[in-house]
Chains A and B, each alone.
Chain A
Amino acid sequence: MTWHLTPSQLDAYARGRADDIAVMSAEAHLVHCPACRSALPADEAWLQASWAELLDVVDRPRRGPLEQVLTAAGVAEDKARLLAATPRLYRAWLAATVAVLVCALFAAHTVRGGALLFLYLAPVLPLAGVALAYGRRVDPAHAFTSTTPMGGQRLLFLRSLAVLVPAVALCAGAALLLPSFGPAWAPASWLLPSLTLVAASLALTRWIPLGASSALLTGGWMAALAGAELVRTWNTVHLFGPTAQLLWAVALAALLAARPLLRGVRA
C-alpha cells in the first residue's frame, strides 16, 4: 500500500461525516490496509454487542407461519415457540377433524336428522386432539420434556390450549354451516359438553394418563348416546337441551374451580 488515509479523512469516516464517495473510497482502502484499520478508533463494547446481535440473527431459529401469527397476536416469544412445536400427531388429528366435520356436515345436509351426528361428534373431537397433544405415547421426546420445569401440568395445558382453540374454531365454523334445526342456539349446543369433557379429561390426569382419561370419557360419551338410543325412553337430544346445558355449565364451573386438583398431573 503506497498511500494511506489522512487523519482528517479517517476522522470524517469514523464520525460518519464523510460523503458517500469518500466513504466508498475509504472502505475500499480499509479492506486492504491494516495500518489504516488499526488507526480507526474502535468502540470495543459496541463491536462486541454488534457481533453478538449479528450472531443472534444468524442463529435464531426460523419461525414457522403459526409461530409468526402467534407472536403477531401478542403471544410471548417463548410461549409461541412451545405452542407451535406441538407433536406431529396433532397435525394428523387436525386433518382428521376436518374430515370428520365434512362428513358430519354432508350427513346433516343429506340425511333427515343428520345434524344430530354433528352434535354427537363435536364434543369429543377436541377431546381426541387434547389426548394427542401430550404424553409418553404420542410425544417422541416426552422423556426429555417431562423432566423439565415446564413439563407436566404447564406443558399439558399449553398444548391443550393449542389444540382446543383450533378445535373449537373448526367445530364452530362447521356449526354455522349446519341446516336449520331446533332453536337458534342449537348449533352451539355442543360447546359446553365439549369444554366440560376436556376439563374432565385434564382433571382425571391426577390419577390416570391423559390418553386413558380421554379414551375413558370418549367411551363414556359414546356409551351414553348408544344407551339412550337403545332404551328409547330418553331422547339423546336431551343431552343438549336447556336443562342439560345448565348442568354442563355447572360441571364445567366445578371442574375449573377445582383446578388445584390438577396439581398432581402425571400425564
Chain B
Amino acid sequence: MTAAADRPDTAARTGDGTGGLVSARGLTKRYGLRSALAGIDLDIGPGVTGLLGRNGAGKTTLLRCLATDLDPGGGELEVLGSTPLTSAGRTRIRRGIGHLPQNPVLYPHFTAFSLVDYIAVLKELGGRRARHDEVRRVLDAVGLYARRHSRVRRLSGGMRQRLALACALLGEPRLLLLDEPTIGLDPEQRIRFRDLVSEFTRDRGAVLSTHQIEDVGALCSRVLVLDAGRLVFDGSPDELTGHARGRVWSAAKRPRDAATAWRGPDGRYRVLTPEAADPPADAGEAHPVEPTLEDGYLLFTAERA
C-alpha cells in the first residue's frame, strides 16, 4: 500500500506497458476560491479503477475533466492520448469515451429506443441500420430491450439508470467514465452491472466513482481515494483493506479514542483504532476482527478528517 501523497511521480505506474488511457500531472481545478482538484498526478490503464472519497472530495470534478465536460484549471491532462484543451482534442477524446454523469437526466418524452438512438447520432454512429443494431445491442446488454418502446417517464429510477448506462456503452468506447452508476439499482441489477462492466473492461478501461464500497471491492483492481481535491491513496483494494489490519475490533463498549466506531445489530461495537496496538483500554471485552475494504477506507478518511 502506498499513500499517493508519498509518491508524487505516479508515472512509473503506467510506464509498464499497461496502455495508458489517462495521464494527469499537477491537475488542478478551482470553483471560485474553492479548490476542487489540488494537483493530481495520475495514470490510468485498462481495467476498472475505483474512485472513492467523501462528498466534495473532487471525484465528480475529476470525472468531468476526464470526460471533457470541464476544462482543467491547470496542470497537464491527456485522455486517450489527446488533450481536452483544444476542440480537436476534445472531439477525439469524446469519440473514445462513454460517460455516465451523476444523476443523469434524460428526455422524458422520448422512448427508450429513440433516446439511445438520439445519443447514438450524437456519437456519430453512422448508417441508420448499423446504428439501430448498436442501439439494440446496448439495450439488450442492460436488460431493457423488452422496454424499448416505453417512454422514459414511464421507466423506474433503476431502469433510467440502466438506460443512461446503455447510452454510455454505445460505440464500445475505450474508456468508460461512470459517476455513481449503481444509484437506484436493486441488488440483482447491481450484480448484472458488475458483470457487464467486468466483461466490458477485459481489454478497455473504466473509472468508477462511487460511494458503494462493495462495488469497488467486487470490480476494481485499483482504488484511488480523493480527499479535498488531493489523491491520498493509490493502490489495490487489498492494500486499502490492509491499511486497517490489526486496527479493527469487536468491543463491548465504545472507546473514547476510537477513530471510528459503530454499534452493530448484535449490540457490540465495531471499533477502528488510530494505531495497530492492543485492544482499546476502555472498550471492555474486545477481540480483533478481520478488516474489510470499508474499514480501510473509513480509517483512511478518518485520519484526514
**Contact mask B101-118 → A, CB, 8 Å, 1/0?**
110111101110110011
B95 in the interface (beta carbon within 8 A): yes
Known: A55-B136, A61-B111, A141-B106. A152 touches B117 (CB 8 A): no
How many chain B residues sit at the interface, stated as a range, is 35 or more
Query: How far apart sit A112 and B173, CA to CA, in the bound complex (Å)?
Result: 63
When the two chains form the complex, which single residue of A55, A81, A150, A153 contacts B123, counting CB atoms closer than 8 Å? A150
Residue from the set B97, B114, B136 with the largest chain A CB neighbour count within 10 Å: B114
A80 to chain B, nearest CB (A): 10
Chain A, Cβ-Cβ closest to B170: A148
**Complex Cα distance A140/B164, Å?**
13
| Interfacial chain A residues near B87, Cβ < 8 Å | 152-153, 263-265
Question: When each residue 145-164 of chain A gets 1 if its CB lies under 8 Å from chain B and 0 otherwise, what string results?
Answer: 11111111101000000000
B26 on interface, CB distance cutoff 8 Å: no
Contact among A56, A141, A150, A152 with B121 in the assembled complex (CB-CB below 8 Å): A150
Contact status A61-B94, CB under 8 Å: no
User: Which of B71, B110, B164 is within 8 Å of A266, CB to CB?
Assistant: B71
Closest to A148 in B: B122
Contact of A56 with B129 in the complex, beta carbons under 8 Å: yes
Q: How far is the CA of A228 from the CA of B99 in the complex (A)?
A: 50
A85 at the interface (CB under 8 A from B): yes
Q: Whose C-beta in chain A lies nearest to the C-beta of B100?
A: A144
- Closest CB of chain B to A159's CB: distance in Å? 12
Cα distance, A145 to B114, chains bound together (Å): 14
Q: How far is the CA of A266 from the CA of B84 in the complex (A)?
A: 12
A88's nearest neighbour on chain B, judged by CB, is B109
Residues of chain B with a CB closer than 8 A to A148's CB: 94, 119, 122-124
Say yes or no: A149-B94 contact (C-beta < 8 A), given A81-B118, A82-B122. yes
Interface membership of B132, Cβ < 8 A = yes
Closest Cβ neighbor of A84 among chain B residues: B118
In chain B between 62 and 111, which residues have their CB closer than 8 angstroms to a CB of chain A? 67-69, 71, 86-88, 90-91, 94-95, 97, 99, 101-102, 104-107, 109-111
A77, CB-defined interface residue at 8 Å: yes
Interface membership of B148, Cβ < 8 A: yes
B128 within 8 A of A: yes
- Complex Cα distance, B124 from A192, in Å, reads 34
Q: How far is the CA of A141 from the CA of B107 in the complex (A)?
A: 7
Which chain B residues lie closer than 8 Å to A153 at the CB level? 87
With A59-B148, A60-B132, A140-B105 as contacts: A155 and B113 at CB distance below 8 Å:
no
On whether the beta carbons of A143 and B122 are closer than 8 Å, the reply is: no
- Contact (Cβ within 8 A) A149 B132: no
Residues of A within 8 A of B133 (CB): 52
Contact of B122 among A52, A55, A150, A266 (CB under 8 A): A150
Chain A residues engaging chain B, CB cutoff 8 angstroms: 52, 55-56, 59-62, 77-78, 81-82, 85, 88, 140-141, 143-153, 155, 263-266
Q: Can you list 18 A-B pairs with a CB-CB distance of less than 8 A?
A: A52-B129, A59-B136, A61-B111, A61-B117, A82-B122, A140-B105, A143-B104, A144-B101, A144-B104, A145-B122, A147-B94, A147-B97, A148-B94, A149-B95, A150-B122, A152-B87, A152-B90, A263-B88
Shortest Cβ-Cβ A-B pairs, 7 listed:
A61-B114, A143-B101, A148-B122, A263-B87, A140-B105, A150-B122, A147-B99
